[in-house]
Amino acid sequence: MPFEWIVAIRYLREGRVQSLLILSGVAVGVGVIVFLSALISGLQVSLIDRTLGTQAHIVLRRADEMPRPLLERDGPVAVTAHVERPAQRLRSILQWQQVLDSVERMPGVVALTPTVTGSAFARKGTANRAVLIRGVDPAGFLRIIDVGSKITAGRFDITGTDAVVGSELAAALGLTVGDKIRLSAPDDRSEVFTIRGIFDIGNKDANERWVFVSLRSGQTLLDLIGGVSTIEVKVADIFSAESIAQGLSARTGLEADSWMKTNTQLLVGLRSQNSSSYMIQLFVIIAVALGIASVLVVSVVQKSREIGILKAMGTPTRRIIRVFLIEGALVGLVGSVLGVALGAGLSLFFASLAKNPDGSPTFPVDLNLALFLRASIIATITGIVAAAAPAHRAARLDPVEVIRYG
Amino acid sequence: MDDPLLRLEDVTKDYGERIVTRVLHGISFTLSPGEFTALIGPSGSGKSTLLHLLGLLDRPTSGRILLRGGDTGELGQRALGRLRGRTIGFVFQFHHLLPAFTAVENVMMPILADRGRADDEMRGHAVGLLERVGLADRMHNRVTDLSGGQQQRVAVARALSMTPALVLADEPTGNLDTESGDQVFALLRQFNREQGTAFLIVTHDPRLAARCDRIIELVDGRITSDRTGGDGQWNSASDRRDGRCGD
Ligand SMILES: Nc1ncnc2c1ncn2[C@@H]1O[C@H](COP(=O)(O)OP(=O)(O)O)[C@@H](O)[C@H]1O
Ligand SMILES: [Mg+2]
């Protein structure tokens, strides 16, 4: 083992109480960072999951399908993300088969499906509700939004005149699997469908309004024979959705809305949450660095006699500097390993405290290797940086002083 | 003529910035290889200061210190440290061992610090030295577990671990009882005889000084006497081995 390591390790083992204190300091700091990061990123992942549970990453539609009636009105205008197009204005994406091919070739796109979406009314007996017809190809659509796993009764089966409705709509109309409902488009086309399944995808609006039918039924009902109103796209990296959407828009001439654009508020929220978390981490790191530095400064003072002896023996200054840098690095590294264990344990404990009815944790935590590595690297570098000042102090010690008065 | 190991030319040393005190006044002398010299003088006369200058731990205010003919004043801090490590060994009054390490680790430390890495040859060398100073059975003890005399013997072994040409000892027996002190002194003499290592030993003990080849006396920062000691047989380095002093 090299001289520097031998001396550094021996000194750390020698100063038992000091080493334990400083290691606990680093461990607590790293534990806080790991816990905080795991909790914040866990919450963010679950927020995003929930958002993307009812929404395609990118939705393509005809550009001229702007919601004119809303915009032309006088007075304050509210343009929401889910603007409903009047059925009579519903028009197909031109040559959508070719568009599908071109979208599929876009890098980053992992799945896509054509859909027909439009307003209608659902009637059972005298009860009547405004709904949103979602005419989809089941295999393709389930790859975009996984409704299949959110079925609470029946199956996701929409062949022929079968339909699948949300739990809220089912409750409002008193529907159970096997019941029949009449769906009518605004232009009075209508058709009777049999309920084959009821879903709950955790979004009240969707549970209240979405009615899944086959693509063909949707086309017939919404007077869009052979056409599709939207193409829904899934991408590999959700945070590149916006740039891919812009690329798709340029490539196809269609309007392309990414989930990022329709959830700006959420993203702003996540971003400010991230920056406050970084601030907290920064202060924790500074506190840890000051702790390491102060303990090492004390140890340099305590060891000044021995440092002087080492220098009198001809030990090069750079070796003495390295001894202390290694001490800092070791304290950072070992402390961070303890801290990762502490933070992970704390996170798991916290996650186990409160559970949702379905058994998932109320506070999901996201523990991953990248987080552990990042915490350890930061702590080790912090240790080295914190050791720099004490190391140079040691290097400047005059051996004559030590020998004469030590 | 004999190539001197160390030569001092008109060396002075001042302390203080505003009120300057001259501790050494124009010191000149030479040390030959293998010489066994005592440095005596009253307390505060500048012996330790002189030893630190000779040991390249400190630099003179004026004058030159030549090691094997080379002017050490021209060397940078780093080169000086290297030269010191390889040519000069120290034994101090307070042993100045590293308390966190065992006896054998302390003896290895100068070589380890020089080469950067320990190997078996180094360890064997250190073990051999400890056997020579009679501490074979105390090798793996922490130095803090050893008696004062034993600690000073470890310090002697350490001073010799780089096989230096010159060992500087500042009152090496000053803190020991007579018997331990004699043991340590005998060891120094033994290494001097066997390996031809030169020694400069600061001592207050006239009995020990008398057993050296040469005695330099310092009073108020000036050399007041420089004479052959003990049996008075010593004349030059070449007949050093014939001198019957020290036993
Ligand atoms: N760093 C220093 N600053 C000022 N004076 C010093 C310093 N070191 C030593 N001295 C003075 O130099 C003189 C010689 O000291 P020293 O070499 O220790 O003498 P000795 O070893 O012979 O007892 C003493 O008067 C001491 O006070
Ligand atoms: Mg002295």
Interface list for A 298-327 with B (CB within 8 A): 305-306, 309-317, 319
Same domain, A205 and A99: yes
Q: Is there a domain that residue A127 lies in?
A: yes
**8 A C-beta contact, residue A307 and residue A367:** no
Whole-angstrom Cα distance, residue A376 to residue A338?
10
Q: What is the pLDDT of residue B239?
A: 39
Class of residue A126 by CB neighbours under 10 A (exposed 0-12, middle 13-18, buried 19+): exposed
Same domain, A336 and A377: yes
CA distance readout (Å), A8 to A303, A306, A307, A335: 12, 13, 12, 16
| Residue B86 at interface with chain A, using a CB cutoff of 8 Å | yes
**What stretches in chain B show pLDDT beneath 50?**
1, 231-247
- State which of A88-92, A238-242, A402-406, B28-32 shows the largest mean pLDDT: B28-32
Phi, psi values for residue A154, rounded to 5°: 70, -150
Same domain, A118 and A246: yes
Q: What is the pTM of this model?
A: 0.77
Q: How confident is the model at residue A69 (pLDDT cuts 50, 70, 90)?
A: very low
A259-277 pLDDT, tens digit each: 998 888 888 988 898 899 8
Q: How confident is the model at residue A77 (pLDDT cuts 50, 70, 90)?
A: very low
**8 A C-beta contact, residue A75 and residue A167:** no
From the CA of B49, give the closest atom in ligand 1.
17
Q: Is the pLDDT of residue A134 over 70?
A: yes
Q: Is there a domain that residue A199 lies in?
A: yes
Nearest alpha-carbon partner for B154 in B166, B138, B169, B167: B138
Q: Is there a domain that residue B150 lies in?
A: yes
Please give the share of chain A, as a percent, with pLDDT higher than 90. Answer: 52
Question: How far, in Å, from the CA of B238 to the mean position of ligand 1?
Answer: 35
DSSP assignment of A335-386: HHHHHHHHHHHHHHHHHHHSB-TTSSBSS-----HHHHHHHHHHHHHHHHHH
Question: How far, in Å, from the CA of A388 to the mean position of ligand 2?
Answer: 34
Q: How confident is the model at residue A352 (pLDDT cuts 50, 70, 90)?
A: confident
DSSP assignment of B43-86: TTSSHHHHHHHHTTSS--SEEEEEETTEEGGGS-HHHHHHHHHH
Note the maximum CA span of chain B.
53
Of the partner residues A2, A10, A314, the one whose CB lies closest to the CB of residue B101: A10
Q: Is there a domain that residue B244 lies in?
A: no
Q: Is there a domain that residue B241 lies in?
A: no
Neighbours of A107 (CB within 10 A): 9
CA torsion through residues A152, A154, A157, A158, sign: negative
Q: Is there a domain that residue A41 lies in?
A: yes
Same domain, A400 and A316: yes
Q: Is there a domain that residue A149 lies in?
A: yes
Instruction: State whether ipTM is beyond 0.95.
Output: no
CA distance readout (Å), A269 to A47, A82, A157, A365: 11, 20, 38, 18
Whole-angstrom Cα distance, residue A273 to residue A88?
43
Kindly give, in sequence order, each residue whose CB lies less than 8 Å from that of residue A140, ignoring residues fewer than 6 positions away: A111, A112, A113, A114
3-state secondary structure of A329: helix
Write out the residue range of the structural domain in which residue A209 sits.
90-253
CB pairs under 8 A between A and B: 75
- Phi-psi group of A309: left, alpha or beta (phi > 0 → left; psi -120 to 50 → alpha; rest → beta): alpha
Q: What is the pLDDT of residue A125?
A: 86
CA distance A282 to chain B (A): 36
Q: Return the half-sphere exposure (C-beta side, CA atoms, 13 A cut-off) of residue A43.
A: 15
DSSP assignment of B12-29: EEEE-SSS-EEEEEEEEE
Whole-angstrom Cα distance, residue B87 to residue A40?
62
Of the partner residues B83, B86, B90, the one whose CB lies closest to the CB of residue A312: B90
Same domain, A217 and A114: yes
A286-330 pLDDT, tens digit each: 998 998 888 888 888 888 888 988 988 889 999 999 999 999 999
Mean pLDDT to the nearest integer, A207-213? 94
B12-66 pLDDT, tens digit each: 999 988 999 999 999 999 999 999 999 999 999 999 999 999 999 999 999 999 9
Q: Is there a domain that residue A163 lies in?
A: yes
Mean pLDDT to the nearest integer, A98-103? 90
CA torsion through residues B17, B20, B24, B26, sign: positive
Number of domains into which chain A is organized: 2
Whole-angstrom Cα distance, residue A383 to residue A378?
9
DSSP assignment of A219-261: HHHTT-TT--SEEEEEESSGGGHHHHHHHHHHHH-SEEEEHHH
Whole-angstrom Cα distance, residue A248 to residue A93?
14
Same domain, A333 and A364: yes
Nearest alpha-carbon partner for A93 in A112, A109, A78, A110: A112
Which of A253, A284, A308 is the last residue before a domain boundary? A253
| Residue B96 at interface with chain A, using a CB cutoff of 8 Å | yes
Q: Is there a domain that residue A66 lies in?
A: no
Whole-angstrom Cα distance, residue A248 to residue A390?
57
Contacts of B118 in chain A (CB under 8 A): 1, 3, 6
Interface list for B 223-242 with A (CB within 8 A): none
Same domain, A244 and A302: no
Contacts of A309 in chain B (CB under 8 A): 96-98
Tokens 């998932």 correspond to A360
Q: Is there a domain that residue A123 lies in?
A: yes
Q: What is the pLDDT of residue A363?
A: 77
Same domain, A287 and A187: no
Q: Is there a domain that residue A258 lies in?
A: no
Whole-angstrom Cα distance, residue A9 to residue A304?
17
Same domain, A233 and A284: no
Q: Is the pLDDT of residue A80 over 50?
A: no
Q: How confident is the model at residue A400 (pLDDT cuts 50, 70, 90)?
A: confident
Which of A253, A281, A304 is the last residue before a domain boundary? A253
Whole-angstrom Cα distance, residue A179 to residue B139?
93
The CA-to-CA distance between both ends of chain A, in Å, stands at 29
Q: Is there a domain that residue B239 lies in?
A: no
Hey, what amino acid is at A299?
S
Same domain, A37 and A162: no
From the CA of B41, give the closest atom in ligand 1.
22
Q: Is the pLDDT of residue A10 over 50?
A: yes
Q: What is the pLDDT of residue A48?
A: 87
Same domain, A248 and A323: no
Which of A253, A286, A305 is the last residue before a domain boundary? A253
Nearest alpha-carbon partner for B104 in B138, B134, B149: B138
Number of domains into which chain B is organized: 1
Taken as a whole, chain A contains a residue count of 406
Hey, what amino acid is at A109?
V
Q: Is the pLDDT of residue A180 over 60?
A: yes
Q: What is the pLDDT of residue B128?
A: 94
CA dihedral angle for residue A351, residue A354, residue A356, residue A358, rounded to 10 degrees: 70
Kindly give, in sequence order, each residue whose CB lies less than 8 Å from that of residue B165, ignoring residues fewer than 6 positions away: B5, B33, B68, B87, B88, B197, B198
Question: How far, in Å, from the CA of B192 to the mean position of ligand 2?
Answer: 23
Nearest alpha-carbon partner for A91 in A331, A255, A263: A255
Q: What is the pLDDT of residue A301?
A: 87
We report the CATH number of the domain holding residue B72 as: 3.40.50.300
Same domain, A134 and A236: yes
Write out the residue range of the structural domain in which residue B126 sits.
6-232
Q: Is there a domain that residue B240 lies in?
A: no
Mean pLDDT to the nearest integer, A352-359? 77
Please give the share of chain A, as a percent, with pLDDT higher than 70. Answer: 93
Question: How far, in Å, from the CA of A402 to the mean position of ligand 2?
Answer: 13
Whole-angstrom Cα distance, residue A128 to residue A123?
4
Whole-angstrom Cα distance, residue A248 to residue A104?
10
For an interface test with B, give the residue of A1, A307, A398, A403 to mutate (most B CBs within 10 A): A403
Using a 6 Å CB cutoff, which residues line ligand 1? B 15-16, 21, 23, 41, 43-49
Q: Is there a domain that residue B205 lies in?
A: yes
The mean pLDDT of chain A is 87
| Residue A1 at interface with chain B, using a CB cutoff of 8 Å | yes
We report the CATH number of the domain holding residue A190 as: 2.40.40.20
Atom 3 of ligand 1, residue of closest alpha carbon: B15
